[in-house]
Amino acid sequence: MAVRPIFTVSPDERLFIKRDVEFTFYSGFSDAQKKRCVRSLHQAYLEEAPDARVLEVSSRSEEELGVRLSAFNLMMTWGNGARISVESAFQGSKVFEQGGPYRDLWGKSSRDAKRDPRLRSSGGVVGFQFGAKRFACEPKTFFYDWLYIHTLAQEGNAALAEGILAYDAFTDIEFNPKRSINCQAEAAAIFVSLSRQGLLRDALESEDGFREIVFQEAARGTPVEPAGEQGHLF
């Protein structure tokens, strides 16, 4: 058994609700085993919320939309029309104690950018620089969420932005909160909530606006205990 979070869209100022769900875990690194885990996680969640529309947001998704929404595949248009994945842009924007940002990573594939040895030999991350914009490390997921949501809101991703609105819960089977901070499933849930509440344009106006709307204390979804302890989520 394993536990992974599911991020559900919230109709109020919380923007998303994070719920930890226990499910049967299938060991192995193959794509087939990962997808078995996804199905198991979704099934466990749907037993408590049968009307939920759940989407796995990763390259392990069985839905084409979920695969395309993975940070490894979601592409932004930058500068003179260059196409850069969210993952490569994120990794290439890190500023370390002893180097960075390594902008050459923007031109690499998502996998190569994430595996670049400089990311592990330059000390701790002290901030981010994206173009002329500088971002602090706090709030912890601020830059990642800002980058993902801005990218999804670009005109070239309109079909993806429309498709994601059909779902109200998101998972990322590779995300383990014990080892990672940023999560594309969380960013996806925030995007849908902002869109449904008519707050997306205001949130994207400026970094301060994004912080005020997305990172106000009430907006950060708190974990929900299993339904057996506190009742059904829906």
Residue with tokens 């969640």: 45
For residue 162, the enclosing domain spans: 2-74+142-230
Question: Which residues touch 181 (CB under 8 Å, ≥6 apart)?
Answer: 140, 141, 144
| Count of structural domains, the chain | 2
117, 135, 153 - which closes a domain:
135
At CA 152, angle to CA 148 and CA 158, rounded to 5? 175
116 with 12, same domain: the answer is no
Q: Indicate if the alpha-carbon torsion angle 61, 64, 69, 74 is positive or negative.
A: positive
Give the pLDDT confidence of 98-110 residue by residue, as tens digits: 999 999 999 999 9
pTM > 0.75: yes
Has residue 184 got a pLDDT over 60? yes
Instruction: Please tell me the total number of residues recorded for the chain in this structure.
Output: 234
Q: Which of 158-162, 176-180, 219-223 has the lowest mean pLDDT?
A: 219-223
Quick one: angle between helices 184-196 and 207-214, nearest 10? 90
- CA distances from residue 196 to 34, 161, 188, 230 in whole angstroms, order as listed: 31, 12, 12, 27
49 with 79, same domain: the answer is no
Mean pLDDT, residues 58-75 taken together:
97
Give the pLDDT confidence of 201-212 residue by residue, as tens digits: 999 999 999 999
- CA distances from residue 43 to 30, 46, 143, 144 in whole angstroms, order as listed: 20, 5, 32, 29
- CA distances from residue 193 to 93, 145, 174, 181, 199 in whole angstroms, order as listed: 26, 13, 23, 20, 8
- CA distances from residue 154 to 168, 204, 217 in whole angstroms, order as listed: 21, 11, 27
Q: For residue 15, what are its two tokens?
A: 């923007």
204 with 146, same domain: the answer is yes
Q: pLDDT over 90 for what percent of the chain?
A: 82
96 with 38, same domain: the answer is no
90, 110, 135 - which closes a domain:
135
Count of alpha carbons within 13 angstroms of residue 206, beta-carbon side: 3
149 with 122, same domain: the answer is no
CA 45 to chain centroid, in Å, comes to 19
Q: For residue 206, what are its two tokens?
A: 């400026």
CA 66 to chain centroid, in Å, comes to 11
Confidence of residue 227 (pLDDT cuts 50, 70, 90): very low
Of all helices (H) and strands (E), which one includes residue 15? none
Q: Which of 14-18, 26-30, 178-182, 218-222 has the lowest mean pLDDT?
A: 218-222
What residues are paired with 174 via a beta bridge? none
Has residue 79 got a pLDDT over 70? yes
DSSP-derived 3-state class of residue 210? helix
119 with 175, same domain: the answer is no
70 with 108, same domain: the answer is no
